[in-house]
Structure 1
Amino acid sequence: MIYIYHDYGGTHTTALAAAYHLKQLPQSERTLTSEEILNVKYFNRLTKEDFGKLIFHGNDEDGNSVYTIGRKRNKLVVPGLKELTLLLQNKFHFNEKIVFSNTSPTVPIVMSFGGFFSRGLKIDFIGVPLLVKGAKQCRDNVYRLVENTKQVGKTSFNENVITLENEMYK
């Protein structure tokens, strides 16, 4: 199975989701420390050149691959990837299940501003503290989103490509 977490930039909530999925962050309900957040692989490190690229984060305890992608405002990226996957599955007869999970609903406004200052304007001394504050605010929602994504992946037997919009985490 392949899990792909996606959102606008692909470097904040997606990185946190991948880290939770791979058990690189504490699975408890405690607040993350600033150091834990800033040490997440790819957190606030991707650039505009990375938009649209699938970033591999690792394999989970079940051997499933975990990726992230920043799609910008383009709502057609995931449907396009889904159609390409279905075409390849049909043509080459492979049955690898792929789960696309949108982390955008978990993004608090403070994280959006932090990303704008840090990634957009390159003003890290303003942006990074806002990003850390936002990551602490959305920790529970991101964790629950990941747990739900994994559960859907394990229990959806009829579909080879699953798209989760995750609106319940707003």
Structure 2
Amino acid sequence: MIYIYNDYGGTHTTALAAAYHLKEITQSERKLTKEEILNVKYFNKLTKDDSGKIIFHGIDEHGDSVYTLGRKSSKLVVPALKNFSLLLQSKQHFQEKIIFSNTSPTVPFVMSIGGFLSRGLKIDSIGVPLLIMGAKQCCDNIFKLVEHTKRTGKSSNEENVIILENEIYK
């Protein structure tokens, strides 16, 4: 199975989702610390040149691959990838299930502002503290989204390519 967490920039909630999925960070009663957040692979490290790249994060405990994708504002990227995946599956007899999971519904406003300041304007002194504040606000929802994504992947759903918009987290 292949899991692809996606959102606008691909460097904040997607990085946290991949880290939760791979158990690089774990859910607990407390919020994540600043150090835990900043030590997440790719958190606030990708640039606009990384947009549209599917980035490998690792293999989970079930042998499934975990990736992230920054798709910017395009609503067409994930449906196009789904159609391309279905084409590969039919022409190349590639039958691995692919789950596209949108992390955008977990993004709090403060994280959007922090991301814009840090990644867009390169003002880390203001942007990074806002990103940390936002990550602490949404870490529980990201964890729940990852658990939902994994349950969906393991379900006996007949579809080989599934898009999860995750609207329940808005």
TM over 0.5, shorter chain = yes
- With structure 1 as the length reference, what TM-score do the two structures score? 0.99
Deviation at 1:32, TM superposition (A): 0.3
Q: Aligned with 2:135: secondary structure?
A: helix
Q: For 1:86 and 1:26, locate their aligned partners in 2 and report how far apart those are by CA, in whole Å.
A: 33
Q: Aligned with 1:29: secondary structure?
A: coil
2:34–2:132 contact (8 Å) kept in structure 1:
yes
Counterpart amino acid of residue 43 in structure 1? F
Q: CA offsets per residue over residues 137-169 of structure 1, 9 Å max, x none?
A: 001100000000000000043010000000000
Alignment of 1:1-170 (within 5 A): 1-170=1-170
Q: Aligned with 1:23: secondary structure?
A: coil
Q: Which 4+ residue blocks in structure 1 deviate beyond 4 angstroms? A: none
1:22–1:60 contact (8 Å) kept in structure 2:
yes
Percent of paired sites with the same residue: 75
Counterpart amino acid of residue 114 in structure 2? G
Q: In structure 2, list runs of 5 or more residues that go unmatched.
A: none
Q: For 1:55 and 1:145, locate their aligned partners in 2 and report how far apart those are by CA, in whole Å.
A: 19
2:27–2:140 contact (8 Å) kept in structure 1:
no
Counterpart amino acid of residue 159 in structure 1? E
Deviation at 1:26, TM superposition (A): 1.8
- Of 28-37 and 107-116, more deviation after overlay is shown by 28-37
The size of the alignment, in residue pairs, is 170
1:29–1:140 contact (8 Å) kept in structure 2:
no
Q: Aligned with 2:18: secondary structure?
A: helix
Deviation at 1:28, TM superposition (A): 1.7
Q: For 2:114 and 2:2, locate their aligned partners in 1 and report how far apart those are by CA, in whole Å.
A: 30
Q: For 2:151 and 2:84, locate their aligned partners in 1 and report how far apart those are by CA, in whole Å.
A: 24
Q: In structure 1, list runs of 5 or more residues that go unmatched.
A: none
